[in-house]
Amino acid sequence: MSSSTTSTTTISTAGPPSRRNTELAMLAFAVLIPVFAYANVGLALSDEMPSGMLSYGLGLGLLAGVGHIVVRKFAPYADPLLLPLATLLNGLGLVLIWRLDQSERLARAAEAQGFVYGASAPNQLMYSAMGVAFFVGVLMLLKDHRILQRYTYISMAGALILLVMPVFFPAKFGARIWVTVGSFSIQPAEFAKIVIAVFFAGYLMVKRDALALASRRFMGLYLPRGRDLGPILVVWAMSILILVFETDLGTSLLFFGMFVVMLYVATERTSWIVFGLLMSAVGAVGVATFEPHVQQRVDAWLDPFAVFETGQGTEQIAQALMAFGSGGVMGTGLGQGNSDLIGFAANSDFILATVGEELGLAGTMAILLLYGLIVERGVRTALAARDPFGKLLAIGLSAAFGIQVFVVAGGVMGLIPLTGMTMPFLAYGGSSVLANWALIAILIKISDTARRPAPAPAPSPDAEMTQVVRP
């Protein structure tokens, strides 16, 4: 009956291309999941539905709705998944922070150290609102992402200022990553990662031919010329300086990693990855030998349980590892774990340990997949983008996002030494939430341009004058 050369497929155009209704449905789903989680925490902790559930759900729904309407208006062809994924992570973060707010153990520990223990969840909800306002602002003001290309070198200066600023402010919790004005403090590195992606994209777009083509082949690797090594050396030196003066391993790893990824994407030369890995290994080991703060972090990573014998250092990592372990595969259930034993920074740097204990391996995998999907949509946007600047910017922003998740998750799980960074959207912290909403907004703007259907063929003016040759 059927012959092998005959296919029986029909190709038809798939629906309306904008996919905004898909986004709305996903967004509704993404708001309902945190509401479910909120109810679950309330029932587990106090046997009753939590009182703030309605206002909290409405607040998150309102933020999501505002974001959706603005995307519909200003980026109608944007990727349908970025906004729901970010909303879900932000909502789950709010629930986890609220859950840790209820912990009497954390309250006692804070009071013992002389702090006033205040609830963090209302602040985080306010930061989320500011983040969505940022998101809306970027979508409305940034008409076309290619405008950013004009500010290549201004963003370099801006990023340098943002990165250097914390040096002049007192160290907080062992790392100089804060700028404190009065009672208000921000982490400029979170914003710097967006600004510096703009600079890298603009710079590499212009220089990539020189970096890709002028090279010699040696043992299967393309060795770049000595003078082309300049930029990577400069960025490397900058990362080392951040590491030495701000004692911040995360930020320096983030910037160097982002640059190497963008260099690789721009030039398609594997040798840059090899050089990058070698240089970061040399840099990290070199600094770790003489910088005491970094040394402490490495020691705590190599032997996290030594703290129980010597009584020195922090037991955060050990408690985080035990949280992951006691979570098992299915977790203890929301509100029923003891991840608050981590103590300080349980709701910011270490929030993934709460996920690991209360949702178990299954939940942690799901959360990591949600991050992975955001990165995937970013890479997909870069593939679809038609202009090289947009491609590089999208890949740089998604690489920064992915590296940040890896650095934080790896640190909390004991895979790499712990760094003072926050899990995007999930963790408590204003700068992080604001900067990541802006990052998502830029990705949405690029994907809108990339997915916009090509304009219909214009009727050519001489079509009527030319005689059409008919066979």
Partner 1 sequence: MSELTLTVMRLGFLAVLWLFVIVAVQVIRSDLFGTRVTQRGSRRGGSDRTPQRQQAAAPQQRQQQPSGRGAGRQRRGAPTKLVVSEGTLTGTTVALQGQTISLGRAHDSTIVLDDDYASSRHARIYPDRDGQWIVEDLGSTNGTYLERTRLTTPTPIPLGAPIRIGKTVIELRK
Binding region for partner 1 (CB under 8 A): 1-3, 5-15, 17, 19, 22, 26, 29-30, 33, 36-37, 40, 43-44, 47, 80-81, 84-85, 88, 330-334, 336, 359-360, 362-363, 366-367, 369-370, 373, 376-377, 380, 456-457, 459-460, 463, 466, 468-471
Taking the complex as a whole, the smallest distance from the CB of residue 174 to partner 1 amounts, in Å, to: 34
Between 7 and 183, CB nearer to partner 1:
7
The string of DSSP codes covering 353-414 is: HHHHHHTHHHHHHHHHHHHHHHHHHHHHHHHH-SSHHHHHHHHHHHHHHHHHHHHHHHHHHT
Taking the complex as a whole, the smallest distance from the CB of residue 374 to partner 1 amounts, in Å, to: 10
Taking the complex as a whole, the smallest distance from the CB of residue 11 to partner 1 amounts, in Å, to: 5
Cβ–Cβ < 8 Å for 288, 249: no
Between 37 and 317, CB nearer to partner 1:
37
**CB-based contacts of 207: which residues, under 8 Å, 6+ apart?**
231
Between 7 and 312, CB nearer to partner 1:
7
Task: Let me know the angle formed at the C-alpha of 119 by 117 and 124, rounded to the nearest 5 degrees.
Answer: 130
Between 286 and 328, CB nearer to partner 1:
328
Taking the complex as a whole, the smallest distance from the CB of residue 235 to partner 1 amounts, in Å, to: 33
Cβ–Cβ < 8 Å for 407, 424: no
CB atoms within 10 A of CB 145: 24
Between 3 and 289, CB nearer to partner 1:
3
Q: Give the span between the Cα atoms of 191 and 211, in whole angstroms.
A: 28
Taking the complex as a whole, the smallest distance from the CB of residue 454 to partner 1 amounts, in Å, to: 8
CB atoms within 10 A of CB 8: 5
Cβ–Cβ < 8 Å for 124, 428: yes
Strand partners, 224: 215
CB atoms within 10 A of CB 300: 21
Taking the complex as a whole, the smallest distance from the CB of residue 71 to partner 1 amounts, in Å, to: 15
Taking the complex as a whole, the smallest distance from the CB of residue 6 to partner 1 amounts, in Å, to: 4
Between 51 and 180, CB nearer to partner 1:
51
Q: Give the span between the Cα atoms of 28 and 39, in whole angstroms.
A: 17
Taking the complex as a whole, the smallest distance from the CB of residue 449 to partner 1 amounts, in Å, to: 15
Where does residue 19 fall: left (phi above 0), alpha (psi -120 to 50 degrees), or beta otherwise? left
Query: Hunting for tokens 């759900």 — which residue is that?
Result: 57
Between 249 and 352, CB nearer to partner 1:
352
Q: Give the span between the Cα atoms of 79 and 71, in whole angstroms.
A: 10
Taking the complex as a whole, the smallest distance from the CB of residue 77 to partner 1 amounts, in Å, to: 12
Between 32 and 133, CB nearer to partner 1:
32
Taking the complex as a whole, the smallest distance from the CB of residue 47 to partner 1 amounts, in Å, to: 5
Q: Among candidates 242, 252, 258, which has minimal Cα distance to 166?
A: 242
DSSP label at residue 100: H
Q: Where are the beta strands (DSSP E) in 140-285?
A: 179-181, 184-186, 215-218, 221-224
Taking the complex as a whole, the smallest distance from the CB of residue 89 to partner 1 amounts, in Å, to: 11
Strand partners, 185: 180
CA atoms lying within 13 Å on the CB side of residue 424: 30
Between 85 and 318, CB nearer to partner 1:
85
Q: Give the span between the Cα atoms of 347 and 427, in whole angstroms.
A: 6
Between 253 and 355, CB nearer to partner 1:
355
Between 76 and 313, CB nearer to partner 1:
76
Please state the length of the chain: 471
Q: Among candidates 381, 356, 368, which has minimal Cα distance to 445?
A: 381
